[in-house]
Amino acid sequence: MSAADGTLVGVSKIVDHGRNSHRSNLVFLAEGYVLGDLPNFIQLVDEILAEMRVTRPFHTLWPNLNVHRIEIASAETGADIPTTGLKVRTFFDASFGTGCSERQLQVDDHAVLRFCNTHVAEHSAAIVIVNSQEHGGSSGDVIALSAGIPGSKAWGVMHELGHLLAPLDDEYTGKTDCPGHLPQARFHGAEPVDANVTTVRDSFSLKWSDLVGVATPPPTLETDDCVNPTPVPSPFDDGTVGLFEGAGRFNCGLFRSEFDCRMRHRGRDYCEVCTRTLARAISQFGPRPAELSRNLWTSGWDMISAIEIDGSPHLVSYKPASGSISIDRVRADATGSDQVMGSTWSTGWTSIVPLQLDGQPHLLLYKAGSGQVEIDATTNGGQDVTPVWTSTWSTGWTPIVPSMLAGARPIFSYKIDSGSVSIARVRATGTDPEVLGSTWNTGWSHFALWEQPWGASLVSYRTSDGSLELDRILNGGQDAETIIETSRDAGATSLVPLTWHGEPLLVLHRMSDGTARFDHLHDPGPNAAFPAWVSTLEPSLGKIAGHAWSGGWQSLTPFTLAGDPYWVAYNGSVAVIDRID
Amino acid sequence: MPDIPPLAPTAFRFLYSYDGAAISLLERSDVSVLAPSDDGDVPAGIPVSGFWCELRDAAGATLWWQRYRHPGLFKTEVMLDDQSYGYQIVPPESATTAFSCVVPADIPGAESLALVGSDPGDEAGTPAVDILVHPLSAP
């Protein structure tokens, strides 16, 4: 590599989920692209990411990744091809091999790593895309891949990321066509340290014993001939976890957990063992709340919500028992908040819902006991709160969740005892007739709702048994369809929706023991276009981080400050402001 | 969240070269990034093959360890042209490469870094031994 062989054109952070120091950072580098060809590199990286973004487990773990693109214009196009005598001047000296190794495409790993150290010091994986229509690649600590490999380029990248991020061993076997080069027949070595291959032959002391069904025999499938194994189709259902002989590039003596996996054939999904190993490795790079300030508050602020007033986050806090109300402006440095309005209202309000109506901050107030409802305008920087509409609804609506659907401001309301559901648009002059009236199961205790390009995603949680459902709210709120039915730990006391660097996140927190779980919601919508090579777009709700705090935090109220996600946590005597790093 | 101060992660990234026979330390850089989390209990009781990085205290006790891909270039994997989208192994064209390990810089008592692994020249899965041990402060 030398300056004469190419020049750095630009470094871009193309997937930005916050601080590089807290994320796993993938770096794509251009090699063998002259300046005029760089748009092809950019397009190829975009295609790879579009596929990764919707592929298990990266679709769930996406918020834990940052992606960087380094555009380098080489002096000449392509890579050296010694078998044809082609020699070109490129930045990282890409070269194909010879003989049996003619598909081995190598770059100067040392130069790549040093270059990454300079431009993205936090790099976790360096992926060099070589501008050659010849088929080739290689990987060690640097992944090199030619633009000409057949099939999906993302498949190769994801296989290699399994090595780099987890790390996972190969699960393919010792096929070789090299003259004078014997296949890897039988492994006689020590138990591999990697999570996805083993020499162990019984399912009890196995690394993945928890995934093996009682009816699955160990070994599940053995190789018939260690030198020339007969290819056989799987006699088991897809997803059967057991002990399948042939892994780690050896035909015999090493076992994998499933018949097929992305670490065996790049066009397959990761098996369950590889999926969870990757998830475990990447989940440490998930969202991480950090305490920025801690202030004493009086007790009894049982209802806290956040609303933006004049471009700044404000907290609206209410004591249902005494009627005390306070609106506080959050300081720009998050060291606390300063009261702009304090008053005493009537007692018994069960919902105070912040809404932006006609570009102005408003509050919708509702008493579940009497059905009394009103909409208040907040003016003068939050100092004045004035009722602009009052009415009486039926009793029992709790909770009430604000949303945005098709540019309108509807509220989602639910009655926990009867299961009644209502979606109705709110205006400063009152509410329109409901667009959805229905009856769901009873007992749902918490809801979270995110606006999506096609409608909204609604998560419902039942604290009594941990049931959790994802529904799509379509057609401006007129239709709802259930997409995911699953469960989490019971007993959560807070369900917090976050829009975190553009990603919908769900936080389930249990105040008794301080445990918190962050899930990422990936919902491509009902009519999403499939990227090339992807056969399905699977909605998912998966864990990306878990934390354990002290107990007693009764509420977590999210807000945005200077573009960063925050929340205020309150435990009855202390209010803490966290930035969600 | 409450109780957790803002994180300012500190780590060391060590860059090594491997020439088919020996691993040499090239450089150390300080980087503000989360190092991979500890992999739990160090394998003990049975011989284990593979490759990992360990941080050790002055007495040689392991304080942190993390599995890595073995840098030994025993074979090279090549993507097959056919529709199986499988792989083939071939002898490496070159056995020279570079690799890096990222380790946490804030583990109390950590004094040395050990690269532990199977014989880099033999893919037969020999029991892991110390391949290279150097002070955490090096070079």
- Partners of A449 in the β-ladder: A458
pLDDT attached to residue A3:
59
Which tokens go with A500?
């975190």
CA atoms within 13 A on the CB side of A545: 24
> Is A122 an 8 Å CB contact of chain B?
yes
Q: Which of A334, A268, A324, A221 is nearest to B85 (CA)?
A: A268
> Is B109 an 8 Å CB contact of chain A?
no
Query: Which chain B residue shows the shortest CA-CA distance from A82?
Result: B93
Residue A176 has pLDDT above 90, yes or no: no
> Mean per-residue pLDDT for A74-98?
95
Last residue of a domain, one of A164, A194, A217: A164
pLDDT attached to residue A140:
83
- 8 Å CB contact of B76 and A138: yes
| pLDDT tens digits along A360-394 | 999 999 999 999 999 999 999 999 999 999 999 99
Chain A hits for B3, CB-CB cut-off 8 Å, are 291, 549-550
Say if CB A481 and CB A455 are below 8 A apart: no
Using the CB atoms, write b or e for A4-31: b if 16+ within 10 Å. Answer: ebbebeeeeeebebbbbbbbbbbbbbbb
User: What average pLDDT does chain A have?
Assistant: 93
Domain count, chain A: 3
Residue B91 has pLDDT above 90, yes or no: no
pLDDT attached to residue A238:
92
Residues A382 and A520 in one domain: yes
pLDDT attached to residue B139:
67
- 8 Å CB contact of B89 and A249: yes
> Is B26 an 8 Å CB contact of chain A?
yes
Which tokens go with A302?
């049982």
**Total residues found in chain B within this entry:** 139
* CB atoms inside a 10 Å sphere around CB A343: 10
**Confidence category of residue A398, pLDDT binned at 50, 70, 90:** confident
pLDDT attached to residue B111:
97
Query: CB neighbours of A87 closer than 8 A, spacing ≥ 6?
Result: A80
pLDDT attached to residue A535:
79
Which CATH number is A59's domain given?
Answer: 3.40.390.10
pLDDT attached to residue B75:
67
Distances (CA, A) of A289 to A229, A469, A518, B3: 52, 25, 11, 10
Residues 132-191 of A with CB under 8 A from B: 135-142, 149-151, 155-156, 163-164, 167, 169-170, 172, 174-178, 181, 184, 187-191
Say if CB A52 and CB A82 are below 8 A apart: no
pLDDT attached to residue A202:
83
**A467 vs B91, higher pLDDT:** A467
Residues A212 and A306 in one domain: no
> Mean per-residue pLDDT for B58-86?
82
How near does any CA of chain A get to the CA of B34, in Å?
6
Element (H, E) at A192: strand A191-192
Say if CB A542 and CB A61 are below 8 A apart: yes
Mutation pick from A160, A193, A194 vs chain B, by most beta carbons of B within 10 Å, is A193
Residues A94 and A185 in one domain: no
Chain B hits for A188, CB-CB cut-off 8 Å, are 124-125
| pLDDT tens digits along A317-343 | 999 999 999 999 999 999 999 999 999
Last residue of a domain, one of A254, A286, A318: A286
Give the C-alpha separation, A262 to A268, whole Å: 5
pLDDT attached to residue A508:
98
Which range marks the domain in which residue A42 is found? 3-164
Residues A279 and A308 in one domain: no
Residue A85 has pLDDT above 80, yes or no: yes
pLDDT attached to residue A98:
82
What is residue B88's three-state secondary structure? strand
pLDDT attached to residue A574:
97
> Is A207 an 8 Å CB contact of chain B?
no
Residue B2 has pLDDT above 70, yes or no: no
pLDDT attached to residue A217:
86
Phi, psi of A460 (to 5 degrees): -115, 140
> Mean per-residue pLDDT for B66-78?
79
pLDDT attached to residue B4:
67
Rounded to 5 degrees, what angle do the CA atoms A211, A214, A220 make? Answer: 75
Residues A319 and A269 in one domain: no
> Mean per-residue pLDDT for A256-281?
95
Q: Where are the domains of chain B?
A: 11-36+46-135
Residue B82 has pLDDT above 90, yes or no: no
**Confidence category of residue B18, pLDDT binned at 50, 70, 90:** confident
Residues A387 and A484 in one domain: yes
Say if CB A515 and CB A548 are below 8 A apart: yes
As a three-state string, the secondary structure of A35-90 is: HHHHHHHHHHHHHHHHHHCCCCCHHHHHHHEEEEEEEEEECCCCCEECCCCECCCC
Residues A130 and A170 in one domain: no
> Mean per-residue pLDDT for A452-458?
91
Query: CB neighbours of B97 closer than 8 A, spacing ≥ 6?
Result: A109, A110, A140, A141, B17, B18, B71, B73
Distances (CA, A) of A291 to A110, A148, A288, A317, A567: 39, 49, 10, 20, 10
Q: Calculate the CA A221 to chain-centre distance.
A: 35
> Mean per-residue pLDDT for A136-164?
90
pLDDT attached to residue B70:
87
What is residue A535's three-state secondary structure? coil
Which tokens go with A442?
């009873």
**Confidence category of residue A418, pLDDT binned at 50, 70, 90:** very high
- 8 Å CB contact of B2 and A549: yes
Q: With the C-alpha atoms ordered A246, A250, A254, A260, is the resulting torsion angle positive or negative?
A: negative
> Mean per-residue pLDDT for B7-25?
88
Nearest by CB to residue A101, choosing from B1, B87, B93, is B93
> Mean per-residue pLDDT for A231-252?
92
Distances (CA, A) of A549 to A218, A569, B8, B37: 41, 11, 19, 19
Residue A555 has pLDDT above 70, yes or no: yes
DSSP 8-state class, residue A175: -
Residue B112 has pLDDT above 90, yes or no: yes
Query: CB neighbours of A505 closer than 8 A, spacing ≥ 6?
Result: A63, A287, A497, A498, A499, A518, A519, A520, A521, A544
Give the C-alpha separation, A394 to A366, whole Å: 10
Last residue of a domain, one of A256, A286, A316: A286
**Confidence category of residue A442, pLDDT binned at 50, 70, 90:** very high
Residue A182 has pLDDT above 70, yes or no: no
How near does any CA of chain B get to the CA of A146, in Å?
11
Residues A299 and A280 in one domain: no
Residues A159 and A170 in one domain: no
Please tell me whether the interface predicted TM-score (ipTM) of this complex is above 0.90.
yes
> Mean per-residue pLDDT for A536-555?
93
pLDDT > 70 in chain A, percent: 98
Using the CB atoms, write b or e for A96-116: b if 16+ within 10 Å. Answer: bbeebbbbbbbbbbbbbbbbb
Which tokens go with A112?
């790549």
> Mean per-residue pLDDT for B16-31?
90
pLDDT attached to residue A184:
81
pLDDT attached to residue B93:
74
Residues A58 and A75 in one domain: yes
Chain A hits for B126, CB-CB cut-off 8 Å, are 189-190
pLDDT attached to residue B88:
75
pLDDT attached to residue B1:
53
**Confidence category of residue A138, pLDDT binned at 50, 70, 90:** confident
Residue B58 has pLDDT above 70, yes or no: yes
Give the C-alpha separation, A227 to A224, whole Å: 9
Which CATH number is A447's domain given?
Answer: 2.120.10.10
> Mean per-residue pLDDT for A173-180?
70
Listed range (A40-49, A178-187, A445-454) with the worst mean pLDDT: A178-187
